């Protein structure tokens, strides 16, 4: 493991985020009001988000400055290290060079604090007292809980019930940072009560938990909603990953031929890839970019590019995205952070433009790749990150077959220290692959709202 982190002095940490919208050949489709289906404006989002974040959501500026206070918090763990995976290269016997950016060094153990800190900062600036959110595996909830504790904001987290029961230590982490955690669906909201009335045994989904959080945020003047992925401003905050990687690779005298990232809502993928895609869109440097998702939740590879709600109850604005349908409830595979029915509109748009590729992998292959990686590099990846590891390994093996010494960069978006039960189950042969049938795809898509 060879780090190039320390070639990059702290002063070289980026001071601006990169907005890919500035370089797109065509703008992303407009966002629609859930009731009127008319394009929404900034004022429509004001009950949910502070105005600074809404302005970032609709910005077309190429660079947006990172506030000093946010920079100073980032410096606790940023620049995050970029490693050359020499021992993994050797284990695979590949002529390819493999680099990975490691986001597991953050306080919550993933890339999510990059946006949590920024969101908490802007909310605090505008006088908000409480942040309400949802979390699946607990990565986002613990990141927002951490950020809330720094800025003195109350944090309320609706945690998908299956994870609430399976991941007591993620819950404990959120509570340690001072957040209140509620299992979703809950009886605290109309959305939660409606689901429970119909399915008393419901183990929840991200879509349901989002409905609950949005409902509470919209009802309280001092509260706002915070989302950990999907939205333009979230992807924007994550671009610090790719900007750092550009400087670090420059110092290493390299440039990626292939970039790989896993996609749940698309934020860590966008974070590492968008700055490089910008260079490609401006005609400076070509690169192949691959998004990897679970075969059991294949929004990019098998979903439809259509207008859909971000939540199950249909309270959020309608966005055009690759979606499996907002009523989709994923099977209980382990990469909780990748179990979302939709994909970031910007990532969906780039796929539609042919600027990125998408692929999917099965759960067992991802854990097998994760162990190969851990035994070579000494880091246990999060189950979500294992999807990127698996695809990066596949690319490296393809290079071996073709005898090509390509440079591969992937985002190791988090560590798996809170996910060891999944590794134990894998080693005991208890994990299953989930094939999502064509009938199930069609059924969930039948519930798409008709727009236009
Ligand atoms: C939340 C999470 C993801 C999925 O979200 P994206 O927005 O697609 O990045 C992936 N990996 C980890 C470690 C996460 O915490």
Gap between the Cα atoms of 135 and 204, Å rounded? 11
More confident residue, 2 or 33: 33
Q: What residues contact 440, with CB distance under 8 A and at least 6 apart?
A: none
Evaluate whether 386 touches 368 at the Cβ level (below 8 Å). no
Across 42-57, average pLDDT: 96
- The answer, yes or no, to whether residue 6 has pLDDT greater than 50, is no
| Domains of the chain: residue spans and CATH | 71-109+233-445 (3.40.50.1100)
The protein residue with its alpha carbon nearest to ligand 1, atom 13, reads 414
Sorting pLDDT into bands at 50, 70 and 90, what band is 12?
A: confident
Distances (CA, A) of 264 to 188, 335, 347, 365: 27, 9, 11, 17
* Ligand 1 atom at shortest distance from the alpha carbon of 110: 13
Mutate to test the pocket of ligand 1, among 136, 268, 387 (most ligand atoms within 8 A of CB): 268
What confidence tens digit (pLDDT) does each residue in 180-228 have? 999 999 999 999 999 999 999 999 988 899 999 999 999 999 999 999 9
Gap between the Cα atoms of 420 and 254, Å rounded? 34
Average pLDDT along the chain: 94
Gap between the Cα atoms of 318 and 320, Å rounded? 7
Residue 250 CA, chain-centre distance (Å), reads 26
Mutate to test the pocket of ligand 1, among 101, 104, 109, 112 (most ligand atoms within 8 A of CB): 112
Confidence at residue 271, expressed as pLDDT on a 0 to 100 scale: 99
Ligand 1 binding residues, C-beta < 6 A: 110, 112, 139-140, 229, 262-269, 337-338, 382, 384-385, 413-414
Gap between the Cα atoms of 380 and 92, Å rounded? 18
Evaluate whether 87 touches 1 at the Cβ level (below 8 Å). yes
- The answer, yes or no, to whether residue 64 has pLDDT greater than 60, is yes
Gap between the Cα atoms of 308 and 447, Å rounded? 9
- The pTM assigned to this predicted structure is 0.96
Distances (CA, A) of 84 to 96, 178, 302, 432: 11, 37, 33, 32
* Total residue length of the chain: 452
Sorting pLDDT into bands at 50, 70 and 90, what band is 7?
A: very low
Q: How many CB atoms lie within 10 A of CB 329?
A: 18
Pairing of strands 180-184, 97-102: unpaired
Evaluate whether 352 touches 304 at the Cβ level (below 8 Å). no
Across 83-107, average pLDDT: 98
Q: Which candidate, 387, 365, 407, places its Cα nearest to that of 300?
A: 387
Q: How remote is the CA of residue 414 from the centroid of ligand 1, in Å?
A: 8
**With pLDDT > 90 as the criterion, what percentage of the chain qualifies?**
87
Gap between the Cα atoms of 231 and 278, Å rounded? 18
Distances (CA, A) of 256 to 159, 294, 392, 448: 37, 24, 12, 38
Helix (H) or strand (E) holding 151: helix 139-151
Sorting pLDDT into bands at 50, 70 and 90, what band is 1?
A: very low
Q: What residues contact 175, with CB distance under 8 A and at least 6 apart?
A: 145, 181
Strand segments, DSSP code E, in 153-217 are: 154-160, 180-184
**With pLDDT > 70 as the criterion, what percentage of the chain qualifies?**
97
Confidence at residue 61, expressed as pLDDT on a 0 to 100 scale: 98
Evaluate whether 243 touches 249 at the Cβ level (below 8 Å). no
Confidence at residue 5, expressed as pLDDT on a 0 to 100 scale: 52
Gap between the Cα atoms of 109 and 13, Å rounded? 19
Confidence at residue 443, expressed as pLDDT on a 0 to 100 scale: 82
Mutate to test the pocket of ligand 1, among 133, 141, 143, 264 (most ligand atoms within 8 A of CB): 264
Distances (CA, A) of 350 to 168, 211, 281: 37, 27, 11
What confidence tens digit (pLDDT) does each residue in 373-416 have? 999 999 999 999 999 999 999 999 999 999 999 999 999 999 99
At residue 77, the 3 state secondary structure works out as coil
What confidence tens digit (pLDDT) does each residue in 337-359 have? 788 899 999 999 999 999 999 99
Q: Which candidate, 255, 236, 235, places its Cα nearest to that of 245?
A: 255
Evaluate whether 238 touches 270 at the Cβ level (below 8 Å). yes
Angle of the 267-281 helix axis to the 345-352 helix axis, nearest 10: 40
Gap between the Cα atoms of 270 and 266, Å rounded? 6
């Amino acid at each position: 493991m060879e780090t190039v982190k320390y070639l990059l002095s702290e002063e070289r940490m980026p001071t601006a985020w990169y907005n890919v919208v500035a370089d797109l050949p065509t703008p992303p489709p407009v966002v629609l009001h859930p009731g009127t289906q008319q394009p929404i404006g900034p004022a429509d989002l004001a009950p949910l988000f502070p105005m600074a974040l809404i302005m970032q959501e609709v910005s077309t500026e190429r660079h947006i400055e990172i506030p000093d206070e946010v920079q100073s918090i980032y410096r606790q763990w940023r620049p995050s290290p970029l490693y050359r995976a020499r021992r993994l290269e050797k284990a695979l016997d590949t002529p390819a060079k493999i680099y990975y950016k490691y986001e597991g060094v953050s306080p919550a153990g993933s890339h999510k604090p990059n946006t949590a800190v920024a969101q908490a900062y802007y909310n605090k600036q505008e006088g908000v007292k409480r942040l309400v959110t949802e979390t699946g595996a607990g990565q986002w909830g613990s990141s927002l809980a951490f950020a809330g504790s720094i800025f003195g904001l109350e944090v309320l987290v609706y945690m998908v019930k299956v994870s609430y029961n399976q991941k007591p230590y993620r819950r404990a982490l959120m509570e340690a940072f001072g957040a209140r955690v509620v299992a979703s669906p809950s009886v605290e909201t109309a959305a939660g009560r409606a689901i429970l009335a119909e399915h008393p045994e419901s183990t929840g989904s991200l879509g349901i938990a989002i409905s609950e959080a949005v409902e509470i945020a919209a009802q309280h003047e001092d509260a706002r909603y915070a989302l950990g992925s999907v939205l333009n401003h979230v992807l924007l905050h994550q671009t610090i990953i790719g900007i750092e990687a550009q400087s670090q690779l420059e110092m290493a005298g390299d440039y990626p031929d292939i970039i790989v990232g896993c996609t749940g809502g698309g934020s860590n993928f966008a974070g590492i890839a968008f700055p490089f895609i910008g260079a490609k869109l401006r005609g400076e440097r070509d690169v192949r970019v691959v998004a990897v998702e679970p075969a059991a939740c294949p929004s990019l590879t098998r979903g439809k590019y259509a207008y859909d709600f971000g939540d199950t109850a249909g309270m959020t604005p309608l966005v055009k995205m690759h979606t499996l349908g907002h009523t989709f409830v994923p099977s209980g595979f382990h990469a909780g952070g990748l179990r979302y029915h939709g994909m970031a509109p910007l990532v969906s748009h780039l796929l539609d433009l042919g600027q990125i590729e998408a692929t999917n992998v099965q759960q067992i292959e991802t854990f097998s790749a994760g162990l190969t990686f851990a035994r070579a590099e000494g880091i246990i990846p999060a189950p979500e990150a294992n999807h990127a590891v698996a695809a990066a390994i596949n690319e490296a093996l393809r290079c071996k077959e073709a005898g090509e010494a390509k440079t591969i960069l992937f985002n190791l978006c988090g560590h798996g220290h809170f996910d060891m039960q999944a590794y134990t189950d894998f080693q005991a042969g208890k994990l299953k692959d989930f094939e999502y049938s064509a009938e199930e795809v069609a059924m969930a898509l039948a519930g798409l709202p008709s727009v236009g």
